[in-house]
């Protein structure tokens, strides 16, 4: 019996695709926002604020919504986090601010909807107020930023605010990084990533150059020569390989490539299998699995090698996948791709369990096969060191090493976001970019450049 | 089952819940609906002389707080704007059909004896159970020397009350305005005039808010605003105080009180009874939710009375009055200290910041592991109750009374320069 891989585009109509890729969580109405804001206790020294990597004064912005001071609310968010709009949409709030909300102590699972309120306020600002910050007088200093994702954008905005000129360079055609290319479309619907970039750029003093790759189109040494400082925020350009038989077969694809195609092309033109297996346990795996379903796949199975406690996707992400008809299978490690007549037909997994010391063990004899005509790999992303390999930048454990002022080992070169050590979260990248900008600004404003590392 | 029947200066009703003289009792249609819903009585919206007054359009203003609507309501409506004959005919019909309910008629005519003499027999002819003299309307009518303009002058209160007592057999209830400095003055005047009872409080002069776009006080009538009468849940504390003042005054000889002022629930009702009221008049709560609210008022009050062992309303009326004393009679040796139930605490820090910023710095903040911990510094706590009030969790912060060593009031206190020296035995 011969099989042909059943991977095709246009499985659904335009109308179905519009519905499937529209805003997953519609915004609060004004009335809903006020009711929710008034539920907030306005805690002192609030745990939610402590849990936010960018340290947004959450009770303050929520109280401003309750009092109808929308401008003040948005400003409170944006002065800590200029990408507050996308963070409101993509942050795993259930493991950050909302997890710490004291309302959970009274009624588990009913924290204040901080993310939704943050979206309400930032949407208001973008709809009514425009750019709320003004630039300081121009300093004449020029700073290059490599990578126009959340870290790079936050850094650019803060530097521009301080009066510096910023050149933002990215390998992609558009700025936005993961927000533009790496997150499920329904999380940042209606072209939000680009609208947010436009909003942010209105501060002035930021130029963008796309389709330019570090180490290929220009070098770090050149940047160092032409600019007063450099910020590296290239994120993770590589994907981890599984190292199993059949990984190169047609139909086996990186989940990030699949997601990027969905974000940069007409959705109708993106091919998807009828039976899709997604391997991995992070947000990328969930985003790929759910979008495969929403693109028209009949069966999508997300398989993760360990238990849900170890998944980096949060429980609400996992539930989101399940309510979208994705089957989640845990404690299963991929052992090989299964073919029929040389064509991808499924993935074989070994069943596993946790040992007493918490490690995972798999039984190579206890296997099962999940049929698949498309396999999406989401087993982790890697920092690609090639573009900086010839430079004096220390890389350890696959990430750029920086000090507390975000300085790399190369003089005048700073780094932040996913290419450095730390949680790989949009909101953490924003903090890095913002704080690195402050560090650069301090260094550039200090006549004596001899200050030591650390603060 | 508690007996909620009321006999208020001879006016009988199956329960003490009356609708106050206001828009809900403006006409037969509403009053019939109220009686069908179970209200014990009504005070018909104030009748005046013909030609009737004219009311404005845009009449109410609301005070909303933190998501709760109408914690306070103000109105600029005047007395009934329908012809006297219409009201009189309707009152007669309603009273005939609901003989077991209390129908009291509120009156306001010019401060001349002839006017009162003229209207009283007309009202008496309806079969109404009594009259309530509207000496309280704080807007519009007061500018025509009626309503609060009378209520604010004790001599006028006494005089008009006397006219009424001399010209009708109906019981006379004098409705008092709170827009005075000492409620006892008009209450004494009413008693001197022969009043059978007083009712209070009428509405409080107020500006409910300002329209910041148009720069006009609300409610806005064609670009202008005026002061109105304030009522609703927010005025309850003012009413309780004034009622208590009257109830404990020895010279008022226990004059019956019909309590009014923000009564919205059975619990409010019980508090008004405890502070000396015998009947309870409600308006704003009915205007907010409709007449059906009386069900829970009756049910809740009855259940509470059963639980406490009070058989009749008389058992509750004035029950808190012996404990309502002037400040000088409070024991300065009494001490209470806050206690935080650490199990119930949600670590919001509201008690801490309230005490730290605005009270006595008697709550400490520390970290135990990753967990915040707030604790009372007992030596510093003055027992002000603020932390217990700001805590969002019921019964998390409780005030613990400490053992008391004797009694010492301000008149005997050593710090009092005018202290009463204890007699040497």
Q: Report whether the peptide linkage leading into residue A181 is cis, meaning its omega lies within 30 degrees of zero.
A: no
- Contact residues on chain B for A102, CB-CB shorter than 8 A: 346-348
Contact A429, A150 (CB under 8 A): yes
Q: Give residue-wise pLDDT tens across range B257-313.
A: 999 999 999 999 999 999 999 999 999 999 999 999 999 999 999 999 999 999 999
CA–CA gap between residue B106 and residue B243 (Å, rounded): 20
Residue B28 shares a structural domain with residue B48? yes
The DSSP output letter for A407 is: B
Residue B40 shares a structural domain with residue B106? yes
Spatial CB neighbours of B243, under 8 Å, sequence gap ≥ 6 = B200, B201, B257, B259, B261, B272, B275, B276, B277
Residue A454 predicted with pLDDT over 70: no
How many domains would you assign to chain B? 2
DSSP codes joined into one string, A184-203: -GGGGTTTHHHHHHHHHHTT
Q: Give residue-wise pLDDT tens across range B313-331.
A: 999 999 999 999 999 999 9
Contact B93, B131 (CB under 8 A): no
Q: Give residue-wise pLDDT tens across range A319-368.
A: 999 999 999 999 999 999 999 999 999 999 999 999 998 889 999 999 99
- How many other C-beta atoms lie within 10 A of the C-beta of residue A43? 25
Residue B137 appears among annotated catalytic residues: yes
CB contact under 8 A, B349 and A38: no
Q: Residue B65: closest CA among chain A residues belongs to which residue? A: A38
Place of tokens 């009326």: B317
Structure tokens at A341: 């007549």
Q: Residue A47: closest CA among chain B residues belongs to which residue? A: B348
Q: What is the pLDDT of residue B132?
A: 98
| Distance to chain B for A359, nearest Cα, Å | 27
| Distance to chain B for A121, nearest Cα, Å | 18
The boundaries of every CATH 1.10.1060.10 domain in chain A are 40-129
| Distance to chain A for B82, nearest Cα, Å | 39
CATH assignment of the domain containing B384: 3.30.70.20
Residue B288 shares a structural domain with residue B331? no
CATH class for the region spanning A40-129? mainly alpha
**Does residue B274 lie in a domain region?**
yes
CA–CA gap between residue B227 and residue B218 (Å, rounded): 8
Q: What is the pLDDT of residue B370?
A: 86
CB contact under 8 A, A46 and B349: yes
Residue A450 predicted with pLDDT over 60: no
Once rounded to an integer, what is the mean pLDDT over residues B169-186?
Answer: 97
- Contact residues on chain B for A34, CB-CB shorter than 8 A: 67
Place of tokens 């309280």: B136
Q: Residue B390: closest CA among chain A residues belongs to which residue? A: A41
Name the strand (E) or helix (H) holding B173.
strand B172-175
Q: Give residue-wise pLDDT tens across range B12-68.
A: 999 999 999 999 999 999 999 999 999 999 999 999 999 999 999 999 999 999 889
Residue A260: C-alpha distances to residues A14, A170, A265 (Å): 19, 15, 8
CATH assignment of the domain containing B214: 3.20.20.70
Place of tokens 């400003």: A75
- Contact residues on chain A for B366, CB-CB shorter than 8 A: none
Q: B355 is in which domain, residue-wise?
A: 327-412
Residue B121 shares a structural domain with residue B266? yes
- Contact residues on chain B for A105, CB-CB shorter than 8 A: 346-347
CB contact under 8 A, B348 and A38: no
pLDDT band at residue B423 under the 50/70/90 scheme: low
Give the end of a domain, one of B303, B323, B343: B323
pLDDT band at residue B424 under the 50/70/90 scheme: low
Q: Burial of A269 by CB count in 10 Å (0-12 exposed, 13-18 middle, 19+ buried)?
A: exposed
Residue B246 shares a structural domain with residue B266? yes
Place of tokens 């020029």: A142
The boundaries of every CATH 3.50.50.60 domain in chain A are 7-17+239-377, 142-237+383-445
Residue B263 shares a structural domain with residue B389? no
Reported ipTM: 0.85
From A38, A45, A106, residue closest to B349, measured CB to CB: A45
CA–CA gap between residue B263 and residue B277 (Å, rounded): 12
- Contact residues on chain B for A45, CB-CB shorter than 8 A: 349, 352-353, 365, 372
Using a pLDDT cut of 70, give the percent of chain A over it.
Answer: 97
Nearest to A284 by CA among A311, A250, A252, A308: A311
Which of B346, B363, B372 should we substitute to test contact with A (largest number of A Cβ atoms within 10 Å)?
B346
Q: Which of B111, B137, B283, B355 is catalytic?
A: B137
**Does residue B423 lie in a domain region?**
no
Q: Considering only CA atoms, give the Rg of chain B.
A: 24
Once rounded to an integer, what is the mean pLDDT over residues A94-101?
Answer: 96
What is the CATH T-level fold of the domain A7-17+239-377, as seen in this structure?
FAD/NAD(P)-binding domain (3.50.50)
Q: What is the pLDDT of residue B185?
A: 97
Residue B392 shares a structural domain with residue B405? yes
Q: Give residue-wise pLDDT tens across range B334-359.
A: 999 999 999 999 999 999 999 999 99
- Contact residues on chain A for B353, CB-CB shorter than 8 A: 44-45
Helix count and strand count (H, E) for chain A: 17, 19
Give the end of a domain, one of B323, B341, B358: B323
What is the CATH T-level fold of the domain A142-237+383-445, as seen in this structure?
FAD/NAD(P)-binding domain (3.50.50)
**Does residue B418 lie in a domain region?**
no
pLDDT band at residue B144 under the 50/70/90 scheme: confident
CB contact under 8 A, B348 and A41: yes
Q: What is the pLDDT of residue B422?
A: 62
CA–CA gap between residue B135 and residue A72 (Å, rounded): 47
Q: What is the pLDDT of residue A453?
A: 43
**Does residue B425 lie in a domain region?**
no
Across chain A, what does the average pLDDT equal?
A: 94
Q: Give residue-wise pLDDT tens across range B207-224.
A: 999 999 999 999 999 999
Which of B209, B345, B348 should we substitute to test contact with A (largest number of A Cβ atoms within 10 Å)?
B348
Residue B257 shares a structural domain with residue B399? no
Residue B269 shares a structural domain with residue B365? no
Q: What are phi and psi of B229, to 5 degrees?
A: -110, 130
**Does residue B225 lie in a domain region?**
yes
Which of A32, A44, A49 should we substitute to test contact with B (largest number of B Cβ atoms within 10 Å)?
A44
Which of B213, B349, B355, B392 should we substitute to test contact with A (largest number of A Cβ atoms within 10 Å)?
B349
pLDDT band at residue A432 under the 50/70/90 scheme: very high
Using a pLDDT cut of 90, give the percent of chain B over it.
Answer: 92
Q: Residue B69: closest CA among chain A residues belongs to which residue? A: A35
Give the end of a domain, one of B286, B302, B323: B323
- Contact residues on chain B for A42, CB-CB shorter than 8 A: 350
CA–CA gap between residue B255 and residue B247 (Å, rounded): 7
**Does residue B272 lie in a domain region?**
yes
């Amino acid at each position: 019996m011969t099989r042909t891989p059943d991977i095709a585009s246009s499985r659904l109509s335009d109308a179905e695709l519009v519905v499937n890729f529209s805003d997953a969580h519609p915004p609060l109405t004004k009335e809903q926002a006020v009711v929710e804001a008034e539920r907030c206790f306005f805690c002192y020294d609030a745990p939610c604020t402590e849990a936010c990597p960018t340290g947004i004064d959450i009770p303050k912005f929520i109280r401003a919504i309750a009092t109808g001071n929308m401008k003040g609310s948005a400003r409170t968010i944006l002065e800590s986090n200029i990408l507050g709009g996308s963070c409101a949409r993509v942050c795993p709030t259930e493991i950050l601010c909302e997890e710490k909300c004291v309302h959970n102590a009274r009624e588990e699972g009913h924290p204040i909807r901080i993310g939704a309120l943050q979206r309400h306020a930032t949407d208001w600002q973008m709809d009514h107020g425009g750019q709320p910050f003004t630039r300081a007088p121009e300093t004449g200093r020029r700073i290059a930023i490599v990578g126009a994702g959340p870290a790079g954008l936050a850094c650019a905005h803060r530097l521009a605010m301080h009066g510096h000129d910023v050149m933002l360079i990215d390998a992609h055609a558009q700025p936005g990084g993961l927000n533009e290319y790496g997150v499920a479309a329904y999380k940042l619907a209606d072209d939000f990533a680009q609208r947010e970039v436009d909003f942010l750029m209105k501060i002035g003093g930021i130029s963008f150059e796309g389709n330019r790759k570090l180490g290929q189109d220009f070098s770090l040494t050149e940047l160092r020569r032409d600019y007063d400082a450099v910020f590296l925020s290239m994120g993770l350009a590589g994907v981890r390989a599984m190292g199993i038989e059949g990984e190169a077969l047609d139909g086996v694809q990186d989940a990030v490539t699949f997601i990027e195609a969905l974000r940069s092309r007409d959705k109708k033109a993106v091919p998807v299998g009828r039976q899709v297996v997604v391997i991995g346990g992070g947000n990328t795996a969930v985003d790929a699995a759910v979008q495969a379903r929403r693109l028209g796949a009949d069966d999508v199975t997300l398989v993760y090698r360990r238990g849900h406690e170890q998944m980096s996707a949060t429980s609400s992400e996992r539930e989101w996948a399940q309510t979208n008809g994705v089957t989640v299978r845990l404690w299963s490690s991929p052992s090989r791709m299964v073919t029929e007549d040389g064509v991808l037909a499924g993935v074989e997994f070994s069943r596993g369990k946790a040992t007493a010391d918490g490690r995972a063990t798999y039984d190579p004899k206890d296997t099962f096969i999940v049929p698949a005509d498309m396999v999406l790999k989401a087993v982790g992303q890697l920092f690609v060191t090639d573009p900086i390999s010839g430079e004096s930048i220390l890389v350890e454990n696959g990430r750029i090493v920086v000090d507390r002022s975000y300085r790399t080992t190369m003089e005048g070169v700073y780094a932040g976001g996913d290419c450095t050590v730390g949680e790989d979260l949009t909101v953490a990248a924003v903090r890095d970019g913002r704080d690195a900008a402050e560090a650069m600004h301090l260094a550039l404003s200090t006549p004596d450049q001899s200050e030591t590392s650390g603060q | 089952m508690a007996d909620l029947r009321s006999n208020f200066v001879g006016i009988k009703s199956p329960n003490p819940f009356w609708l106050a003289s206001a828009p809900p009792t403006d006409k037969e249609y509403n009053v019939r609906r109220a009686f069908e819903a179970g209200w014990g009585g009504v005070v018909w919206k104030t009748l005046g002389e013909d030609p009737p007054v004219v009311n404005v359009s845009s009449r109410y203003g609301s005070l909303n707080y933190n998501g709760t609507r109408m914690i306070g309501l103000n109105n600029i409506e005047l007395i009934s704007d329908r012809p006297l004959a219409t009201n009189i005919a309707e009152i007669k019909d309603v009273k005939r059909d609901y003989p077991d309910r209390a129908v009291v008629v509120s009156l306001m005519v010019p401060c001349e004896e002839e006017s009162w003499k003229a209207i009283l027999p007309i009202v008496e002819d309806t079969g109404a159970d009594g009259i309530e003299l509207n000496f309280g309307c704080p807007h519009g009518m007061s500018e025509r020397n009626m309503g609060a303009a009378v209520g604010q002058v004790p001599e006028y209160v006494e005089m008009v009350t006397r006219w009424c007592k001399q010209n009708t057999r109906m019981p006379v209830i004098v409705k008092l305005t709170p827009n005075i400095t000492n409620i006892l003055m008009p209450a004494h005047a009413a008693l001197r005039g022969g009043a059978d009872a007083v009712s209070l409080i009428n509405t409080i002069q107020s500006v409910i808010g300002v329209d910041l776009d148009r720069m006009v006080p609300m409610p806005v009538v064609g670009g202008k605003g005026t002061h109105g009468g304030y009522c609703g849940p927010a005025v309850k504390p003012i009413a309780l105080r004034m009622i208590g003042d009257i109830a404990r005054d020895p010279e008022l000889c226990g004059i019956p009180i019909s309590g009014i002022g923000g009564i919205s629930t059975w619990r409010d009702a019980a508090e008004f009874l405890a502070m000396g009221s015998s009947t309870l008049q409600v308006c704003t709560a009915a205007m907010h939710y409709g007449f059906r609210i009386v069900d829970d008022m009756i049910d809740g009050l009855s259940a509470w009375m059963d639980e406490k062992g009070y058989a009749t309303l008389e058992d509750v009326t004035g029950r808190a009055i012996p404990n309502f004393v002037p400040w000088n009679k409070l024991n300065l040796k009494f001490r209470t200290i806050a206690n935080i139930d650490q199990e119930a605490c949600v670590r919001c820090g509201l008690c801490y910041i309230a005490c730290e910023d605005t009270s006595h710095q008697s709550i400490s903040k520390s970290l135990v592991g990753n967990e915040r911990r707030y604790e009372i510094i007992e030596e510093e706590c003055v027992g002000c109750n603020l932390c217990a009030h700001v805590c969002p969790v019921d019964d998390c912060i409780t005030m613990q009374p400490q053992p008391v060593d004797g009694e010492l009031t301000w008149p005997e206190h050593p710090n009092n320069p005018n202290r009463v020296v204890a007699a040497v035995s």
